[in-house]
Homo-oligomer: A and B are copies of this chain.
Amino acid sequence: MGILVHKYGGTSVASTDKIKNIAKKIVAEKEKGHDLVVVVSAMGKTTDDLIELSKKISTNPDKRDLDMLLSTGEQVSISLLSMALKEYGVDAICLTGFQAGIKTQGPHTKNKIIDIDIEKVKSYLKEGKVVVVAGFQGMNEKGDITTLGRGGSDTTAVALAAKLRGGCHIYTDVDGIYSVDPRLYKEAKKLDDISYEEMMEMASLGAGIMEPRAVEIGCKYQIPIYVASSQHDITGTTIRGVDHNMEENVITGLSISDDVLMVTISNLEFKVENIAIVFEKLAEANINVDMISQTGPINGIVNLSFTASTDDYDVIKEVMQQLKKQYQEIDIELEDDITKVSVIGVGMLNQSGVTEKIFRILANHHISFRQVTTSEISISYTINKKDKATTVAVLAGELGL
């Protein structure tokens, strides 16, 4: 019996009753003889509530202050789970991110784990304790409390598993990884396993189950990540290195994201320098840009579209206003009634006819996509939000997902 890292998300710890249920589950697992580390997120909507609270003070709160505020959410969860475990007779210790040795760097609210000083966790495991660790947070070298951004708790869990050379179970509110989000397409099939690469693509394209960074770490350290329901006792999906038979398995799944802000800059004078400046300014403002597409220049003029998170709307708007001052001739459009749909499959683009088939399906159903980008293993479209249900249904149906 080795070391296992469990991770429970916000929905799984949304109330004290749910925390008690999780505690019982952990006790049963502990009795099987595993050494357990449990990573938890903030309870239910706590993080959103804290962000709302901060907005009553400032429309654009200082990010270091925001990290200080948000990190309290997980701290509440770990203390309550630790109490609950003791109620069920299991010795436990709870640790904040920094107490668990999680060292991070980067801009506040978007830090990355650079290393984990794992000795403290190990010594508590040796004492037979269940170690409950606050997900989503750490400490930078200045001693500031930091957070890891969206899905940060997954990253915490996988990184701990990597350092401890243990297994990693992500317990969530879905039963596993589906070819298409089952809330959007009822006939979607659950996958027994999926490769790191496909999962990263699905995750970064918005499948919303696993944080791509977490999958990346799993891939780097070859830690299989088991994703399953925290509520039901049903077999989930394992993310691991898999040899696919490409012939049979060209398309793995569909990924759908509604958190899409699409920005289109038109009428920009075509110089590589100009394009570089656009993305430089976005990077300076710590904006993660997602899809980028640029059409070939016509008469020395290019059009450029990119997408980002709607969370960054205000910051991006400001960056665009600065840009407009520098390049007065350009037009800028921000749209947030946008959904991104991605079709994913290893080797898909090398398989003749696949891309064409997808375009054909969309055309047949009069779905007018706005922006298209492709990668080795995916093709993504931005569409109007109102076309989402139809798009998902026709693609999933006709591609047999």
Contacts and interface: CB of A to CB of B under 8 A. Distances in A.
A20 B55 CA distance: 12
Contacts of A62: 82-83, 86
A54 interface: yes
A6 to B, nearest CB: 18
A57 B96 contact: no
Question: Which 4 A-B pairs have CB atoms at the shortest separation, nearest pair first?
Answer: A69-B79, A72-B72, A16-B56, A68-B79
Contacts of A143: 99, 120
17 contacts: A20-B57, A54-B83, A57-B84, A57-B87, A58-B83, A62-B82, A62-B86, A65-B80, A65-B82, A65-B86, A66-B83, A68-B75, A71-B75, A72-B75, A75-B75, A99-B143, A99-B144
Given A53-B76, A99-B145, 17 more contacts: A16-B53, A19-B57, A54-B79, A54-B80, A57-B80, A57-B84, A58-B83, A58-B87, A64-B93, A64-B94, A65-B80, A65-B86, A65-B94, A68-B75, A69-B79, A72-B76, A99-B143
Nearest to A69: B79
Given A62-B83, A96-B145, A143-B99, A68 B78 contact: yes
A297 interface: no
A50 interface: yes
A70 to B, nearest CB: 9
A106 interface: no
Nearest to A23: B57
B61 A83 contact: yes
A78 B57 CA distance: 12
Nearest to A145: B96
Contact of A82 (B68, B75, B76, B87): B68
A65 B53 contact: no
Interface in A32-86: 50, 53-54, 56-58, 61-62, 64-66, 68-69, 71-72, 75-76, 78-80, 82-84, 86
